[in-house]
Amino acid sequence: MTVLAIIQARMGSTRLPGKILKQVNGKALLAYQLERVGKSKFIDQIVIATTIDQKDDQIVEFCIQYGVDYYRGSENDVLARYYEAAEQFDGDIIVRLTSDCPIIDPVVIDETINYYIDHSSEFDYVSNTIERTYPRGLDTEVFSRDALEKSNEKAKLERDREHVTAFMYSNPQIFRIGSISNTQNLENHRWTVDTAEDFQLVDLILSNLYSKNQLFYMSDVIELLDKHPDWVQLNSHIEQKKL
């Protein structure tokens, strides 16, 4: 069973345009993320799913520079883009990641994948976001290609086409939904990058941890923020976009 991680990526962010290629210490946020996702013990291949829009040529250039596979599809119909990428690269188990998570933890990714594999006879879709206990920015969703194909066939609402997995977790009568939770509730932490304040926090985290240990983990970030509780306030007021 091929485990394929598909990272959706585009330059056109409404709140922080070009965020994924913004740099910390001379390195793009997307490069940090790819480095960390590449440490997964279960993922066989990583693909960047970007758009056919001209502004995303920069992402294609980035992928060529870093030797990363990519697929170009619809900007607005992200579900179709995902499905087409999964078909082209022939993934059996799909790991959905988003490109605004530069400090995602490979251990958290693997825990989610492993839970899906261990319970594949029970669940079509597993994520650590159904019940928010992990910091936002460590989001990992795992599902079968069959579930992705079924979603692509059946999803009609605009929000279900724009948000890849919305149709899955909104239809438990069609898909068997599994949830994985952290032992400690860390939902108040926001490590995704969607605004300038988010970037400021992630910049501080990477600048303090990466030079000492390139492969730092969720626990290392929590330890750092416990020493600097004021940093958490930088983006604590930011609200996640609703579906």
Q: What fold is seen in the domain 3-232?
A: Spore Coat Polysaccharide Biosynthesis Protein SpsA; Chain A (3.90.550)
Render 136-182 in DSSP notation, one character per residue.
Answer: BT---EEEEHHHHHHHHHH--SHHHHHSTTHHHHT-TTTS-EEE---
Confidence of residue 123 (pLDDT cuts 50, 70, 90): very high
Instruction: Provide the pLDDT for residue 243.
Output: 63
Instruction: Provide the pLDDT for residue 242.
Output: 67
Instruction: Provide the pLDDT for residue 15.
Output: 84
Inform me whether the pLDDT recorded for 126 exceeds 90. Answer: yes
Mean pLDDT within 212-232: 97
Q: Percent of the chain having pLDDT more than 70?
A: 99
Q: Reduced to 3 states, what is the DSSP secondary structure of residue 49?
A: strand
Q: Which two tokens stand for residue 156?
A: 């009609």
Inform me whether the pLDDT recorded for 91 exceeds 80. Answer: yes
Mean pLDDT within 114-121: 97
Instruction: Provide the pLDDT for residue 192.
Output: 97
Model confidence, pTM: 0.96
**Domain edges within the chain:** 3-232
pLDDT digits (tens, 9 = 90+) for 157-202: 999 999 999 999 999 999 999 999 999 999 999 999 999 999 999 9
Mean pLDDT within 123-133: 97
Mean pLDDT within 138-165: 97
Mean pLDDT within 56-62: 98
d(CA 170, CA 33): 28
d(CA 55, CA 75): 11
Instruction: Provide the pLDDT for residue 13.
Output: 81
CB count within 10 Å of CB 48 equals 26
Mean pLDDT within 14-40: 96
More reliable by pLDDT, 153 or 242: 153
